[in-house]
Chains A and B, each alone.
Chain A
Amino acid sequence: MSDPRRIEVNDASPDGAVSLYSKRERIQVKATSGRFQTIRNITILSTMGVYLLLPWLRWDGQQAVLFDLPGRQFRIFGMTFWPQDFLFLSWSLIIAAFALFFFTVLAGRVYCGYVCPQTTWTRFFQWIEHWLEGDRHSRLKMDAAPWTASKILRRGSKHVLWLLLAFLTGLTFVGYFSPITDLSARILTFGWGGWELFWVGFFTVATYGNAGFMREQVCLYMCPYARFQSVMFDRNTLIVSYDEERGEPRGKGAKKKQADTENPLGDCIDCGMCVQVCPTGIDIRDGLQYECITCAACIDACDDVMDHINKPRGLIRYTTENALEHKPSSVIRPRLIGYGAALLVMGTLFMASLYGRVPLQVDVLRDRNQLYRTTSAGNIENIYRLVILNKSQQAQRYELILDGPEGLSMETNKTFTLQGGQTLNLPVTVSYDPYVNEVPSSTIWFTVRSLDDPDLEKRHESRFIAPGR
């Protein structure tokens, strides 16, 4: 079995033609443990834990994280984000992308192996599988065995548990968009609306299919990240790698042949452990392949074997291509520093703008039907429509202040109160009396300031247009 995905010519149809499509060989992953698997267990437990528990957190008596789409508000730990704050979302996604670039340059597909949801859920599903059906060899045996009562019971309960976890996932997902306490409470009374039912069902089925059946197929054929990761690799990227110099020529019964000093065998005893534990079913000894998700299962498995045969660890290890070829290799290199600096700058600016965010929005629209208006008394007036949105969740009292040349005055109710999330449409008339003083066309500023919190103010520029001289 040199390569499971090569087409064997012997599965040809009678007329000698070969199918262009290969039937998927189900990968039965052998469980493994070790340094890196311990880290992976911690990472996936924390990602899964955060995902499942976050919607249940409360903040000021409300759900701490709620993406209220019908209300067009994202509530995150007491902050409310409106559609006008879309830039924050864009920047957070850009920062996330740069973080991905940074870690890929550093250590390849390390994101995939340690924190990707696909990996997380697949491993949870594998634990259930392992618990009910045993490890790899017993699962393979069970696959081939006829349907007995015990097989039906084990298989059946596995799928029930899978569906339960998938349902929990779907419920949690919808809980980010529709208050989860209410959503869960309505399970018992069957009080779900059509869309809630549809989306919970959709994510249940998707999770069940993805983590139960698709698994590595997603990483191999669907994930876009797999397509462009190679752009970010270079010869100094940490990758999981088999040390060919040390391992080859591989052979079993190493002790016997060790006497043959003419062609001594390498350290690899060809036990196949690294292939059996690989979640994507590749043989790492063939060199770097795009399928490798850097999960280090083969490292842990091989280290275990090396310990058993009293050889040093690290026949398979995290290393760089340059280091393998005994060339100078440095993980800290300009490229990584560049990504890191960009990440740091963006992250700092992001946090700063988040901290300095004023939960108030002021838009000024000049009336478009006329440039200026002459009243019967001879005053020159400009009309504006101020759209003021209180983006906080508390009621605020505001005052409106006009900054402009001497002589301009504003006729409107200067203080007003807005409930949390309320929008006010305020027509404002700005005028001057040409018999008192002349005001040329000029730039003016409207300032809306909270009376409760002087720091909370927004200033908006506009233009006053006067008759030409």
Chain B
Amino acid sequence: MSDFWSWFIIVIVAINLLGCAGLLLWNKQISPEEAAKETTGHSFDGIVERNSPLPRWWLGLFIGTLIFACVYLALYPGLGKFEGVLGWTSANQYDSEVSLMERQTGPLFDQYAQVPVEELINYPEALAVGGRLFANNCAICHGSDARGAKGYPNLADDDWLYGGEPAQIVTSITAGRKGMMPPMAAAIGNTDEAVRDMAIYVQSLSRPDLAKDAAKSAAIERAKPKFMMCAACHGPDGKGNQMLGAPNLTDAVWLYGPRIEDIEHTLRQGRSGNMPAHESLLSPERIHVIASYVYSLSQPAQQ
């Protein structure tokens, strides 16, 4: 706010306050003729208003509101750029409420932080807390039941892109993950047929029965040598690589769908998955609790 507008507001506020005070004092007295009138002259449907005086404490209340206004303007922001003696701001109030909440929940999270993730899954309250944190921070992508969606990994199964050990889960949440599958169409021959062949080959890794079909068998044979390009990340046997987050191609879990079109799309365009880093959003203690919750989902049921 520039000085001009600040003063503009201060002057308006001052004029209003003084105006109210002046009006009150100026109207405090009326002429004897005015006072002697029976009614104010207002008449509606034959109902007339009597000219009764106000009680005197009413005037006191008015003056009280003026004093309140002055005190308020001294304590709180209101007079242009003047910040008020108390230094109150909404951001401060928010911060103090957040820190109060942190103080209240801190001991509990500190307690949980002492317990390793593998053991924390035996604490139902901790898992309930983790479940609520998951619902607020993770469920929008991974789903309320944590089973993911197209492009968002299922966290409730045993198949992990980057590893399902507690430390790896914590790293995934804290630092995020960037999955990068480069477009491979050019490398494997750049023709529709070559891409189709490779897609069939990739499908066959998890469905050996495809080889029984003569046409598909031929496609598999054509694509097999080119799989070297893919082996750099997915491994020569297509088992994937958790260091890189390269998916295992030999199981029935498909991040982007099992259909031939889905696989072709992956080959042509590539894929880039992004798990955002949460270290700026969640405290390490909270991440610890969420990691326990996620870890518990893939463990045998804790009943």
A residues engaging B (CB < 8 A)?
5-7, 9, 12-13, 16-24, 217, 220-221, 367-370, 373-377, 381, 383-385, 425, 427-429
Contacts and interface: CB of A to CB of B under 8 A. Distances in A.
B30 A21 contact: no
Contact of A21 (B56, B139, B149): B56
Contacts of B54: 20-22
Given A9-B36, A17-B29, A221-B55, A369 B135 contact: no
A368 B55 CA distance: 61
A372 to B, nearest CB: 10
Give me the 5 closest cross-chain CB pairs, A-B, nearest first: A17-B29, A22-B53, A427-B144, A18-B35, A427-B145
Contacts of B53: 5, 7, 19-22
Interface residues of B, number: 35
B298 to A, nearest CB: 15
Contact of B29 (A20, A217, A367): A20
Contacts, number: 97
Interface string B25-51: 001111110111000000000000000
A24 B27 contact: no
Contacts of A16: 31-32
A364 to B, nearest CB: 11
A194 B142 CA distance: 46
Contacts of A376: 252-254, 258
A9 B59 contact: no
Contacts of A7: 35-36, 53
Interface string B133-157: 0010001110111110110000000
A429 B30 contact: no
A293 B27 CA distance: 32
Contacts of B144: 367, 383-385, 427
B131 interface: yes
A23 B32 CA distance: 17
Interface string B163-202: 0000000000000000000000000000000000000000
Nearest to B303: A413
B28 A383 contact: no
Contacts of A20: 27-30, 53-54
B149 A373 contact: yes
Given A383-B143, A384-B144, A385-B135, A21 B58 contact: yes
A12 B29 CA distance: 9
B93 interface: no
25 contacts: A7-B36, A16-B31, A17-B32, A18-B29, A18-B30, A18-B32, A19-B28, A19-B30, A19-B56, A20-B27, A20-B54, A21-B28, A21-B53, A22-B55, A217-B57, A367-B139, A370-B149, A374-B150, A376-B253, A376-B258, A377-B252, A381-B147, A383-B147, A385-B135, A429-B145
A375 B132 CA distance: 25
B130 to A, nearest CB: 11
B116 interface: no
Interface in B263-300: none
Given A367-B139, A383-B144, A217 B55 contact: yes
A366 to B, nearest CB: 9
Contacts of B140: 368-369
B123 to A, nearest CB: 17
A373 B57 contact: no
A373 B58 CA distance: 68
Contacts of B90: none
A6 B38 CA distance: 9
A288 to B, nearest CB: 13
A370 B254 CA distance: 17
B114 interface: no
Contacts of A427: 139, 143-146
B240 to A, nearest CB: 15
A221 B58 contact: yes
B52 interface: yes
A24 B56 CA distance: 7
Contacts of A429: 145, 147
A23 B56 contact: yes
B149 A369 contact: yes
Given A5-B53, A385-B135, A17 B257 contact: no
A9 B145 contact: no
B1 to A, nearest CB: 35
Nearest to A372: B149
A373 B29 CA distance: 79
Given A17-B31, A18-B30, 4 more contacts: A20-B54, A21-B54, A375-B147, A385-B144
A279 to B, nearest CB: 16
Contacts of A383: 143-145, 147
A368 B131 CA distance: 18
A189 B56 CA distance: 43
Nearest to A367: B144
A370 B56 CA distance: 67
Nearest to A15: B29
A9 B35 contact: yes
A22 B252 CA distance: 91
A428 B147 CA distance: 11
Nearest to A422: B128
A450 to B, nearest CB: 21
A19 B139 CA distance: 70
A2 to B, nearest CB: 12
Given A9-B35, A20-B30, A369 B143 contact: yes
A341 B144 CA distance: 50
A463 B141 CA distance: 20
Nearest to A16: B32
Contacts of B132: 425
A7 to B, nearest CB: 5
Nearest to A12: B32
A70 to B, nearest CB: 13
A7 B52 CA distance: 8
Given A367-B144, A376-B254, A377-B252, A18 B55 contact: no
Contacts of B254: 376
Contacts of B29: 13, 17-20
Contacts of B28: 19-21
Nearest to B152: A369
Contacts of A384: 144
Contact of B55 (A9, A21, A425): A21
A425 B131 contact: yes
Nearest to A375: B147
Nearest to A217: B55
A27 B258 CA distance: 91
A110 to B, nearest CB: 23
Nearest to A424: B128
Interface in B54-106: 54-59
